[in-house]
Each structure stands twice: as structure tokens, then as C-alpha cells.
Amino acid sequence: MPKILRINTRTKEYTFEDAGNYANLGGRALTSRIINTEVPADCHPLSAENKLVIATGLLGGSTAANSGRVSVGTKSPLTKGIKESNSGGLFAHKMPKMDLLAIILEDKPEEGAPFSTLFISDGKVTFKDATPIVGMDNYPAHDKLLAEYGDKLVAAMIGPAGETLRLTATIQFTDPYKRPARSAGRGGTGAVMGSKKIKAIILDPAVSNKVGAVDVEAFKTARKTWVEILQGHPVTGQGLPGFGTSILVNVVNEAGALPGKNFRLGQVDHAADISGEKIAEVINARGGKTTEGCHAGCIIQCSQQYNDAKGEYLTSGFEYETVWALGANAMIKDIDDIAAIDRICDEKGMDTIEVGNTLAIAMDGGIIPWGDGKASIELLSKVGTKDPMGMIMGNGVDFAGGAFGVDRLPTVKGQSMPAYDPRAVKGVGVTYATSAMGADHTAGYGVAQNILKVGGDIDGHKKEGNVELSKNLQVATAAIDSMGFCLFVAFAVLDAPNGVQAMADLVQAYTGKPFSADDLVNLGINCLKDEQAFNERAGFTKMDDKLPRFFETDPLPPHGVVWDLDVDELQGAKV
Amino acid sequence: MPKILRINTRTKEYTFEDAGNYANLGGRALTSRIINTEVPADCHPLSAENKLVIATGLLGGSTAANSGRVSVGTKSPLTKGIKESNSGGLFAHKMPKMDLLAIILEDKPEEGAPFSTLFISDGKVTFKDATPIVGMDNYPAHDKLLAEYGDKLVAAMIGPAGETLRLTATIQFTDPYKRPARSAGRGGTGAVMGSKKIKAIILDPAVSNKVGAVDVEAFKTARKTWVEILQGHPVTGQGLPGFGTSILVNVVNEAGALPGKNFRLGQVDHAADISGEKIAEVINARGGKTTEGCHAGCIIQCSQQYNDAKGEYLTSGFEYETVWALGANAMIKDIDDIAAIDRICDEKGMDTIEVGNTLAIAMDGGIIPWGDGKASIELLSKVGTKDPMGMIMGNGVDFAGGAFGVDRLPTVKGQSMPAYDPRAVKGVGVTYATSAMGADHTAGYGVAQNILKVGGDIDGHKKEGNVELSKNLQVATAAIDSMGFCLFVAFAVLDAPNGVQAMADLVQAYTGKPFSADDLVNLGINCLKDEQAFNERAGFTKMDDKLPRFFETDPLPPHGVVWDLDVDELQGAKV
């Protein structure tokens, strides 16, 4: 049975434990249960009392399509609440092959202690001096690790932003193309890893135990059904593979829901210049790749390889939300500047959504001109250094607002909003407001029903139906995150009558334990309950579910919609 | 009847209104009622929806000893809750002489608008271009105003910290010696004034209407009794006049309650070097003054004039809390460096408590060495400029903690603790925890009973009795702040059987309206109720009454005491 590896980063002691009370949990359900059970809710997120948990999903290690997402859980230094941030890459599927269900980093070394790299092998953890890669950006540091550990390297690492405890700091994971290009992006998980003085976690390339479904035949059948569901849906079968997530730029702009200029606009004139269609055109012209998967077993392939003007690799995992934050909210029109900033974020280890929005705050505060990509690059180059401007830019929207004197701050629970204006897409607005994660589209993607008309048709301009919609999506999402699935499977599942059953069948066949569609729903509900309970103990109340006042007072052009849900009706979105 | 002057800082319209529903209120009771009634609790403190109120006390304009404190009320950008910060200076007694009960600044000018100076005359408000003094430090800017308006200048002004919207920004008031040396210090009120683009408010020196008690004879009698009470008490009659508030350095250090090195110590070895006795010695040797009042009518005279080594004026209003924050918590041992920083804080317009604690965070984060006064001066010189280090240093403890990656942050509701460790002085610890103001010794000074043994003797190391003590003190303090009294009168009042009655008699005789000791208590209670109600609507709950975890987990040397009051028992301190 896979073990929980618990590592004390101060004493360097570790234990491999049976799952015990954490049995039958995976991914987000597991990280949130551990954090809610073990971390004092009122501790400082960067103190010794906080923990960092990395967990594989219930389908981790399996060949079920799109089941290789890894969950990172902690008390977030950005939101001060519980956080699960998940990522693609090779880590999730590798963990079960090392008999690992979760890795828990505890305590923290005394002040001034050096950074370590954790090398995890069969039943053994080695703390290695990380000095040779400390201060290095993620790509070159990852190259050094590749040189040391070989091409089968599977790493989780932090960049200079995480080392310097920035609130936007990510944990980056090795992708299938030997790049540290996949991010547990939101909530500053990288700062928690940095506070524990762990620069990287390496899973021994030499260990790869055989992992398989307990019920081989049932798994084979379920797996086939699952592939048919994903390939049969227009979004997962055609839209995402064709243009990646940035296909949404034109769609959301058309809908008047693309936040522009720090959430002042619902449409931007230059949408075509930053659209998925434009990006695909540039990629093709420069010999890049328009399709890539973020983890082995992905059949959606929404990622890409974006090359620079010389035809050399610049970035990948170049998501719609990144393009939106930089291209629309910060009004940067040059897609090459946007791609360059995406790369900087991966190099420093920073959340592109929070960083893009923070640039918009710097522009709103007159620090740099609106839309100035070069000035943005210059500002971000300071993050991870001792430059105080880097300290500010690396700490996100609320922090930058305090530094620059900007009072228009599109955040909930300290986390800034992603690429859909809550006034025009109320289904996702309810999620922003009520999720324990803070403003997070991936916690309950009401955009599907409000704009894409997948899984239903609910008017995003009106509040009717959107509280219930968000609640149901939040439950489904928590379950999906717990199985290790990529969230995009939801598009197909929502429209497939047998979608939920197919996922449950996969889990049952893989684990060999009964797992019904009801169990799947309860997995999601219980995960959300853990998260809500933690946040309540941390002092969050319904008052923390408010959106900033300007969403209520300032109508969003072109449709003139405002946010009109009060905190009491929003409580209907909670489990 | 005195009027409420309401000024729209955007349209430049203004009205002089009858007190109406705000009649029979003054000082803190008035500012808190106005803020609770008129400001949306969930607005951003620097947005147009916030207001800034400046009010005189119920005894403003009178000759009652020590009744000339002015109250500033707003939603605090530091705490995000309601704030009343009061100050000495000439403003409070001058307002009634211009028929003013309160001044309310509303709305805010559009982005990029220039700063104005408000010149308030008889029934008229003039917006003057403040450009000539914008960016200037407070003393030279005040000198310019003196040159323009003459020696009878009475001004409220902000320095570069307020102009740049720093969260530590004060409003500075003209003192009786033509200096802008009195501060409404805590909570960032200066940033709110800055957000409304008001650099200074000048009360026309030419207007000075006659103000007197309605019941002249009764007032005369009450006034005499009041003076006897103040002069008869050892603290207000001898201790404070002799050595100023810094008399407390040795006393609190002896008690093991003087927070040192970012609240790691309860005693510091160099206490004698920064003591009130030492300061008096330096002052005398350099031809300064050991006694001064902060406002006309003060008979306690706890202030001073501190000269530099050349015998030239350096600073005044050089309080114990300032000396503590810099000298003990930031471990700066050179009293001249401490005095120089006090002057810098008055020049930039910054709260010395928050700034001293912020320097300790910079030291804890390795930005500058512990106790380095010169490096501290260098850091603070950047505040009010475009230097990002100045943005950080000017924003207080929690902000600097986020910038420098320090997790030991001695704050409650975003405001850092003053000069008494809550583990060893639980009476004031309960006040830190439960006051709507955030950590604030002036909201309920349990130090009196815990250490000074004035007004009772309650063990500060144990929790027993301290919740009730703090509650009673918070009520009394709110009443004292509403009458316009200096808080130090409380020492005498607590030990004088006729103390409360004497204050009530003064109000009744001055206003000509019945005012009993019960009315005085209810004034305090209702004021606190307003403040609690505002904070509740702003989203504060009992969970915001927690002290940071390290007070519970780390025993304070030398007595090894910890904080042991849970949030439920703390609720007993609320009205």
C-alpha cells in the first residue's frame, strides 16, 4: 500500500507511514484533509507550524486518460486560508511507482540554514546541499538537475520567488519534455516550500515499481469508455487540442466578459492580437508545436511549444489565463512580450494570473505605463532578488495595491480574480466569492454554462441559478481534483450521461474497492467541508465572501452589468 | 451652536450643518458615530466612500485642564476597521472658537488631481493650491504656512508619508510652540487625508469667537476640583511632569514586560541608556526643556524639548512608546539616534510605534543589523519618495513582514503592539486583543493596575481579573477621549473617589445640559458599541481578537509567561 512520507525539515528525520485515517483519499481530498487535521488554522503560513503536502490522486499511477495531476496543499501565505493548487507534470504518476501517496514537509530549519534538495529513493530520503542551484532560475537549475540525475528526472522545485518567500511563488514540476514548465500556480505554495528551505524534491529515477489496476479487465473497459467520452466532446476532442485554452480569448471577449484594464472593461479592441488563433498562427510560422500534453496519458493536449522570432523555444503551458492577465488586464498587446513574461514567471516560479494582475496594479498606480511589456519585464526581473521592488511585485495584487496606493483591487480572500469578469459571468463569480481558495476559476467553472453553454445554459448576467450552479460545480471539481483528473475532463463529463459513472468505474477498478457515483460526489463534498472547516477556524466568515465594492457600484461595459449577490444568498453555494 | 462642516474634496462644495443626530457627542464618540453611520463598512479605506472626521471634544474650547485633545476618525487603511486616533496641539480648542464641532472630508478628487490646502474661515472654505508645500517635510512646510498665515497658525497637515498613502501616515497638528509636533499617530489617518488630496487644513487665525461655559460659576468650581485631583496624584502631579512618559522605561523593564528584539525579550540590558532619567539628563545638559504641554490648558506637562549635541532643537513629543519601539524592540541604544528617528517620523508624518516595530521587522529579516540606528535612518529616509523600500517601510509591520519574509509579527487587526508585552501585562493584552482599534495601549491601559498599581492591583501575569479590568478601562477611555481629555487624567481619576463626578460636572457646567457620571459611562459604552458595530459590518469576528500564535507558544523571559486567554473568554471585554 502506498505510504505517506513525512519529513521534518528541521531535524531531517522522516517516516514512511501507512495511510491510516487518510486511506481512500487522494489528491485534493487528501491534502485538504491533512491540512485541516494537522495544521493550526491560526498559524502564520510561513511558520514552522504550517505544512506542505504533495499528493497523487486516486488514479495516480494509472493509465486512465488525463489522471496525472498532482495536488499541493498548505495554508496559503497569500489567502491565509487553506489552499490546494494542482499541476500537471510527471510527479503524480511517478509517486505511486515509488509507493508514495503523499509527501508532507513539516517544521522548518532554524534561521540562516541553507537550502536542501530532497532526494527520495526507495524507503530513503537524503538531504543534499542545494547551494549550487540556489538563486538560479528554474530552467537552468532544472538543467543542472537533469545533468546530475539523468533524463528520467522527476522534480518539484521552487525558483527565486519561492526562495525569497514571495506570495505569488509557485512550485514547478518537470513536464514530459524535460522542462520545469508545469506549475502549482496559485496561493504561494512555493513560498511555503521556501520557508522550509527545500529548493527541490527529486524522485529517484531508478525506482519505478510496477503499478496496475486491481481489477484489470474492468479497468480496461472503463478506460475505453472514458477515452470515448473525452474524444467525443467538441471542447476536449477538438477545441482545446486545436488552439489550446487561448481559444477562449475571442469567445470571452465576444461575450463582453473579458476583464480589461484592471477590470474596467469587458472587451478589449486588440483581442485578435492575443487570441488562440493568433498564437497558433505564430507557433506554426516558427516551427513550434500547437499541441502538447502536460502529463503522460493526456489525450486533450491543450498545451503547446511557443518559439521566439528566431524559432527557438520560448515557453509552453502558455494558458488563456496568462494571456488574458497580461494581454487584456494589463493591456500588453505584443504576444511575444506576453510569452516572454510567461517564461519569466516559470523561471522565477511565479503565478502568472497573480503576476499579470499585479502588473495591472503597477500600471494603475502609475509605476509603469499601461500595456508596456518591456517595462513589465524589467519590473519582474527584480523578483527573487533583494530589490524591494521585486519584493512588492512578487507579492501579488493586494500587496502591490498597498505599496502603490491603488484601491481598485480585484481580489477575494487575498487572491486576485482570473480571466472572467464576475459581473458578466456570475456562475464563476459565485465561485470566486465562496470558494475556500479565494478567487479561483478552477474551483467551479461556471463559464461552461454561462458562456460556453456546456452542461447547461444559465444566463451569466443574472444571478438566478448561478448559486446552485456554482455549488454543484465546486463539488464536482473537488472530486475531479481528488482523483487526479485534469479539470478539462469536466467539459465532457457535464455533457455525457455516463460521465460521472465512468470516472467512478475507473477508481473502483483501479483500487479494487467499491466506488460508486455517490461515493464520488461525497468525496467532493467532504473535501469542501474540510476546506470550509479549516477556513472557519482560521477566522473566515461569510463576510469574506464579498466581492470588492467596485463590482457592485461600477457597471461593466458593454452590457452594463453589476454584481448583485449579497453574502447571505451566496451561502447557498456552500456544502 | 457649533456646526459640522462637511466638505466634498472632489466637487469642492461644502456645508455648515447643525449637529442634528450628532448633537451631544464630541471627540471619539462623535467621530465613531459619524463613521459608523455614514461610511460603508466594506469600502476600501482609500476609496471615495471613506470619510475623514476631525472633531473637538465635549470640553473643546473650555479652560478645563487637559481637555484639548482632538479626535480623528476614519476607516483605517492599516486595520481595515474603524479608527479614532487622537492628538494634542491647538486644533481642538480652536475649533469651537470657529463654531466648529467637526470637519468631515468626503469623496476624493479624480486621479492625478493636485493637492489642496483647505483654509477654513468664518462660514467659508477655500481650496488653495498646495503645490508649494507638496513633497516637503512637515517642519519646513509648517514654517512656510507660518510665514503665510502668521504666528497664530493652527494647522492639521500630512507629510510625505500621507501624500504617498503610507499605512503608517499620521496627521500632524500645530503645537503651542509653532511646531507640527503633535500626531494623530496610529492607523494611517494621514493616508486617508492624502487620498483626498488635502495637504493641510488651516483654521483662520483671524477668527476667534468667544467661547465660555454656560454655567460659569459651576464650571469654575468643577475646574478647581479637577485641577486639585490632577495635581494631587503622584503620577500626574509628579512622575509625568518630572521625566515625561519615558519614566516608564525603567519601570516596565524592571517588571520584565518591556518587549525587546521584536518581542523576544521582557527586559533589555541597556534600559538605563534609553530611560526617562537619562533623557532628562541629556535635555538638561543641552539646554532643552524637560516639561512642556501638548496643548493649552495642560497641567501635566509630560512633553519636552530635546536638543541635539549642539544644543539645537531636535524633537519634542518624544514619548515612552517611541523610545521603547526604537530603543528596545529595535534595540537601538543611542538615544540621539532614537531622537533623530522621532524627528524623522514627525517630518515624514509617520506613527513612531508602527515605524519602530517595522524597523525591528527589517532587522529580523536581515535587511539591516539589529540596533543599527544609522541604517534605520537611511531606510526611513526613503519613505514618501518613489523608492519601493520607502513604500515598504512606510506601510507598517504586517506589510514589511510580507516583504521581508518575517513571520514573527506582533500585530492585532493589522496594527502592531505598543510598549508592553501582553504576556506579562495581560490587562493591556486584553485591550490589544479586543479593542476595535487593533493593538492599542491607549484604548484601555491595564498597565496602570498590572504594573503601576494605580486604580487597583491586578496581577498582569495571570488572566484572572484582567478581562473585566480591560472592559472597564475601555469604557472609561472612550468617555475620556470623547470629552477631549488627555488620557493621562485617568491615572488621577482612578484613584480619586470624586474623579468621574468631577469630569461629569465639568461637562454639565460647560454645556449647560444635564450630564451625570452615568451619562459619562454611557457615552463610553455607546462609543464602543458604534465601533464594534462598524467592525462587525466590515467582517471582523471574535477570531480577529486572537493574538499571534507565538505569544501562546513562546514564554517571555525572564518570567516565562505566555498568553493564555482564548477568544471566547476575551469576549467578556466587549460592551
Instruction: Please tell me whether residues B406 and B280 are part of one structural domain.
Output: yes
Instruction: Judge whether B458 lies within some domain.
Output: yes
**Rounded-to-integer distance, Cα B486 and Cα B503, Å:** 12
Q: What is the 3-state secondary structure (H, E, C) of A397-414?
A: HHHHHHHHCCCCCCEECC
Residue A394 C-alpha, separation from nearest chain B C-alpha, in angstroms: 9
- How much is the average pLDDT of B205-209? 95
Instruction: Judge whether B253 lies within some domain.
Output: yes
Residue A402, chain B, CB below 8 Å: the answer is yes
In sequence order, what are the residues at sequence separation of 6 or more whose Cβ sits closer than 8 angstroms to the Cβ of residue B378? none
Please indicate whether, in this complex, the C-beta atoms of B399 and A404 are within 8 angstroms of each other.
no
Residue A513, chain B, CB below 8 Å: the answer is no
Write down the pLDDT at residue B507. Answer: 98
Residue A324, chain B, CB below 8 Å: the answer is no
| Torsion, Cα of A217, A223, A229, A234 (10° steps) | -150
Domain end position, chosen among A152, A183, A203: A203
Write down the pLDDT at residue B114. Answer: 97
Please indicate whether, in this complex, the C-beta atoms of B405 and A538 are within 8 angstroms of each other.
no
Chain A interface disruption, residue of B111, B543, B565, most A CBs within 10 A: B543
Write down the pLDDT at residue A310. Answer: 97
- How many whole angstroms from its chain centre is CA A496? 25
Q: Does the pLDDT at position B243 exceed 90?
A: no
C-beta of residue B327 within 8 angstroms of C-beta of residue B372: no
Instruction: Please tell me whether residues B384 and B457 are part of one structural domain.
Output: no
Average pLDDT, chain B: 97
Grid-cell match 489567502, residue found: A79
Cross-chain CB nearest to A395 (options B403, B541, B544): B403
**Rounded-to-integer distance, Cα A531 and Cα A35, Å:** 9
Cross-chain CB nearest to A389 (options B388, B399, B549): B388
The alpha-carbon radius of gyration of chain A (Å, integer) is 22
Tell me the helices (H) and strands (E) count for chain B, helix number first. Answer: 24, 17
Instruction: Please tell me whether residues A223 and A172 are part of one structural domain.
Output: no
Instruction: Judge whether A294 lies within some domain.
Output: yes
Instruction: Please tell me whether residues B445 and B391 are part of one structural domain.
Output: no
Instruction: Judge whether A326 lies within some domain.
Output: yes
- How much is the average pLDDT of B402-406? 98
Q: pLDDT tens, B43-67?
A: 999 999 999 999 999 999 999 999 9
Domain end position, chosen among A420, A448, A474: A420
Q: pLDDT tens, B342-400?
A: 999 999 999 999 999 999 999 999 999 999 999 999 999 999 999 999 999 999 999 99
For A48, the closest chain B residue by CA position comes to: B407
Instruction: Judge whether A168 lies within some domain.
Output: yes
pLDDT band at A313 (very low <50, low <70, confident <90, very high): very high
Residue A366: other Cβ atoms inside 10 A: 14
Please indicate whether, in this complex, the C-beta atoms of B44 and A409 are within 8 angstroms of each other.
yes
pLDDT band at B104 (very low <50, low <70, confident <90, very high): very high
Instruction: Please tell me whether residues A323 and A233 are part of one structural domain.
Output: no
Instruction: Judge whether A318 lies within some domain.
Output: yes
In which order are the strands placed within the sheet that holds A116-121? A124-129, A116-121, A198-203, A154-157, A171-173, A182-184
Domain end position, chosen among A400, A420, A440: A420
- How much is the average pLDDT of A151-168? 98
| Torsion, Cα of A160, A161, A165, A168 (10° steps) | -170
Instruction: Please tell me whether residues A404 and A338 are part of one structural domain.
Output: yes
What DSSP string runs through B131-200? GGGTT--HHHHHHHHHHHH-TT-EEEE--HHHHTT-TTB-EEE--TTS---EEE-TT-HHHHHHHTTEEE
Instruction: Please tell me whether residues B268 and B188 are part of one structural domain.
Output: no
- Kind of pairing between the strands at A303-307 and A289-292: antiparallel
Please indicate whether, in this complex, the C-beta atoms of B392 and A392 are within 8 angstroms of each other.
yes
Q: Does the pLDDT at position A242 exceed 90?
A: no
Q: pLDDT tens, B455-481?
A: 999 999 999 999 999 999 999 999 999
Q: pLDDT tens, B9-36?
A: 999 999 999 999 999 999 999 999 999 9
What cell does B118 get? 483647505
Instruction: Judge whether B208 lies within some domain.
Output: no
Grid-cell match 488621577, residue found: B492
Q: Does the pLDDT at position A103 exceed 90?
A: yes
- Kind of pairing between the strands at B3-8 and B14-17: antiparallel
Q: Say which range, A240-254, A372-386, A469-483, has the weakest mean pLDDT.
A: A240-254
Chain A interface disruption, residue of B50, B392, B406, B546, most A CBs within 10 A: B392
Q: Does the pLDDT at position A355 exceed 90?
A: yes
**Rounded-to-integer distance, Cα B229 and Cα B502, Å:** 9
Share of chain A above pLDDT 70, in %: 100
**Rounded-to-integer distance, Cα B192 and Cα B169, Å:** 9
Residue A338 C-alpha, separation from nearest chain B C-alpha, in angstroms: 25
In which order are the strands placed within the sheet that holds B313-316? B289-292, B303-307, B313-316
CATH number reported for the structural domain that contains residue B292 in this entry = 1.10.569.10
Write down the pLDDT at residue A241. Answer: 87
**Rounded-to-integer distance, Cα B268 and Cα A381, Å:** 42
Residue B224: other Cβ atoms inside 10 A: 12
Residue A549, chain B, CB below 8 Å: the answer is yes
Q: Does the pLDDT at position B239 exceed 90?
A: no
C-beta of residue B250 within 8 angstroms of C-beta of residue B275: yes
Write down the pLDDT at residue A371. Answer: 98
Please indicate whether, in this complex, the C-beta atoms of B42 and A389 are within 8 angstroms of each other.
no
The HSE-up count of residue B386 (CA atoms within 13 Å, CB side) is: 5
**What is the interface pTM, i.e. ipTM, of the complex?**
0.95
Instruction: Please tell me whether residues B162 and B235 are part of one structural domain.
Output: no
- How much is the average pLDDT of B318-345? 98
What cell does B275 get? 530611560
Instruction: Please tell me whether residues B266 and B291 are part of one structural domain.
Output: yes
Cross-chain CB nearest to A395 (options B402, B548, B549): B402
Name beta bridge partners: B3. Answer: B100
- How much is the average pLDDT of B327-340? 98
Q: pLDDT tens, A138-154?
A: 999 999 999 999 999 99
Contact residues, chain A, for B167 at CB < 8 Å? 402
Instruction: Please tell me whether residues B531 and B400 are part of one structural domain.
Output: no
Q: Does the pLDDT at position A199 exceed 90?
A: yes
CATH number reported for the structural domain that contains residue B463 in this entry = 1.10.599.10
Cross-chain CB nearest to B389 (options A388, A408, A549): A388
Chain B interface disruption, residue of A78, A165, A192, A382, most B CBs within 10 A: A165
CATH number reported for the structural domain that contains residue B22 in this entry = 3.60.9.10
Please indicate whether, in this complex, the C-beta atoms of B44 and A407 are within 8 angstroms of each other.
yes
Write down the pLDDT at residue B242. Answer: 83
Supply the range of the domain harboring residue B31. Answer: 3-203
Residue B50 C-alpha, separation from nearest chain A C-alpha, in angstroms: 11
Instruction: Judge whether A521 lies within some domain.
Output: yes
Residue A182 C-alpha, separation from nearest chain B C-alpha, in angstroms: 25
**Rounded-to-integer distance, Cα B490 and Cα A478, Å:** 57
What cell does B170 get? 499620521
Q: Does the pLDDT at position A477 exceed 90?
A: yes
Please indicate whether, in this complex, the C-beta atoms of A407 and B195 are within 8 angstroms of each other.
yes
Instruction: Please tell me whether residues A507 and A394 are part of one structural domain.
Output: no
Residue B335 C-alpha, separation from nearest chain A C-alpha, in angstroms: 29
What DSSP string runs through A107-141? S-PPTTPPPEEEEEETTEEEEEE-GGGTT--HHHH
Q: Does the pLDDT at position B281 exceed 90?
A: yes
pLDDT band at A243 (very low <50, low <70, confident <90, very high): confident
What cell does B359 get? 524597523
Q: How many CB pairs under 8 A join A and B?
A: 87
Collapsing DSSP to helix, strand or coil, A265 comes out as strand
Chain B interface disruption, residue of A78, A385, A407, A570, most B CBs within 10 A: A407
Domain tally, chain B: 3
What DSSP string runs through A190-207? HHHHHHTTEEEEEE-TT-
C-beta of residue B482 within 8 angstroms of C-beta of residue B30: yes
Q: pLDDT tens, A495-505?
A: 999 999 999 99
Contact residues, chain A, for B44 at CB < 8 Å? 407-409, 548-549
How many residues make up chain A in this entry? Answer: 575
Instruction: Please tell me whether residues B153 and B288 are part of one structural domain.
Output: no
